[in-house]
Amino acid sequence: MKKQLLTPLALGRLNLKNRVVMAPMTRSRAEHGSEAPTALNALYYAQRSSAGLIITEGTQVSRQGQGYAYTPGIYSREQVVGWKQVTQAVHDAGGLIAAQLWHVGRMSHASFQEQGAVPVAPSAIRAQAQVFVSDGMGSGLMAPAEQPREMTLEDIESVKQSFVEASRNAMEAGFDLVEIHGANGYLFDQFLATGTNKRLDAYGGSLENRARFLLETVDALIHVVGADRVGVRLSPWGTISDIQDDEPEAMALFLAHALDQRNIAYLHLAEWEWTGGQAYPEGFRQRMRSAFQKTLIVCGNYDAERGETLLAQGLADAVAMGRPFIANPDLVERIRQEVPLSEANPELFYGGDAKGYTDYPTHPAL
């Protein structure tokens, strides 16, 4: 059977060799202290470069934006140098790679912040959720997210500026695109959702106001790197990181229209139905498709078959896969040859070394 998943896709100024995207996945294996990517990280991504596009793990744009131990940053020289070896290794292996730019907002902890600083959020509402902090010995433990403070207008400008700097750094480091992490209960999602945004200024209240910070950041990045190098990830109906929203569909469609007008490279939807989240309502995918004409990437427990179905219906242009890429570095080839997939070990998802990271073998029959 001819698989549409394995056909090329023009995305922004890039040509993807197939429509299987590697989903962004935090693996918490950056260098301790500098939070710079290492040669091991470069090997991990290079092994997976048969994906049409790799999206990196969430990468904090500033120290303030970090919420989990050993996640890489993209704000220091050392980090840019570290990323250069990653992008080089992926390009040498024939792949393309986007940097997922991340600010966790309230999903943070004092141990990540500058001395004496507290995490920031649209409103001073604490997440009933846990973050992964360093135990000081190279390992990690879970701790409650900190009480955040409400961002001032200066804070909002300063975070926007961090994203601008980070996207400049990403270009210097050789990335093909940047993806703004607007999903999964982190800073932008905290602004979008009614449960976390109680602001009374131009950044809270109406849909337009709650979307303002994200769209202003998108515009700032378009200015720096060009619309065709910017992607955005959203997770309507997502509830992870204690997010709660009264208007997920209205916001998703509002943003889809606004991003379509801006001609960005792609919109990426993280779906959470597979782990207890609410399913998309009837007709939502069709409404999304009409609102956003450019490349639409879907993600969330997709296998090749489910992915093919959505592509055939025209409801997505590419399918991102996360966990399957952890245990199957040759995932695209396995899909092509229809050989069984290996299962990833969740105990080795975060932190540690090569074990459970770069030691998953390719299929013996390939």
Ligand X SMILES: Cc1cc2nc3c(=O)[nH]c(=O)nc-3n(C[C@H](O)[C@H](O)[C@H](O)COP(=O)(O)O)c2cc1C
Active-site positions? 186
Take residue 104 and report the two structure tokens written for it.
């966790």
Per DSSP, which regions of 24-145 are E strands? 53-60, 97-102, 120-121, 130-134, 140-144
| Shortest separation between residue 297's beta carbon and ligand X, angstroms | 11
Q: Can you tell me whether residue 308 is helix, strand or coil?
A: helix
- H or E segment at 269? strand 266-270
Q: Are residues 273 and 279 in contact, defined by beta-carbon separation less than 8 angstroms?
A: yes
Take residue 60 and report the two structure tokens written for it.
């904090």
Nearer to ligand X, 193 or 204 (CB): 193
Nearer to ligand X, 60 or 199 (CB): 60
Write out the residues near ligand X by the rule CB under 6 A: 23-26, 57-58, 100, 181, 183-184, 233, 270, 299-302, 321-324, 349
| Shortest separation between residue 153's beta carbon and ligand X, angstroms | 27
Q: Are residues 58 and 107 in contact, defined by beta-carbon separation less than 8 angstroms?
A: no
Burial-class residue 161 by CB neighbours within 10 Å (0-12, 13-18, 19+): middle
DSSP states of 235-264? -TT--TTT---S-HHHHHHHHHHHHHHTT-
| Shortest separation between residue 255's beta carbon and ligand X, angstroms | 16
Nearer to ligand X, 104 or 199 (CB): 104
| Shortest separation between residue 301's beta carbon and ligand X, angstroms | 4
Half-sphere exposure of 177 (CA within 13 A, CB side): 31
Take residue 220 and report the two structure tokens written for it.
């700032």
Nearer to ligand X, 45 or 199 (CB): 45
Q: List Cα–Cα distances, 273 to 50, 248, 299, 311, in angstroms.
A: 27, 14, 11, 19
Q: Are residues 224 and 164 in contact, defined by beta-carbon separation less than 8 angstroms?
A: yes
Nearer to ligand X, 148 or 324 (CB): 324
| Shortest separation between residue 242's beta carbon and ligand X, angstroms | 16
Take residue 270 and report the two structure tokens written for it.
């993280």
| Residues whose CB falls within 8 Å of the CB of residue 2, separated by 6 or more in sequence, listed in order | none
Q: Can you tell me whether residue 112 is helix, strand or coil?
A: helix
Nearer to ligand X, 98 or 199 (CB): 98
Nearer to ligand X, 184 or 199 (CB): 184
- Can you list the alpha helix ranges (DSSP code H) found in the chain? 39-47, 77-92, 153-172, 187-192, 207-225, 248-261, 284-291, 304-312, 323-327, 331-337
| Shortest separation between residue 102's beta carbon and ligand X, angstroms | 7
Q: What is the dihedral of CA 249, 250, 256, 261, to 10 degrees?
A: 170
| Shortest separation between residue 171's beta carbon and ligand X, angstroms | 21
Of all residues in this chain, which one has the CB nearest to ligand X in the complex?
Answer: 322
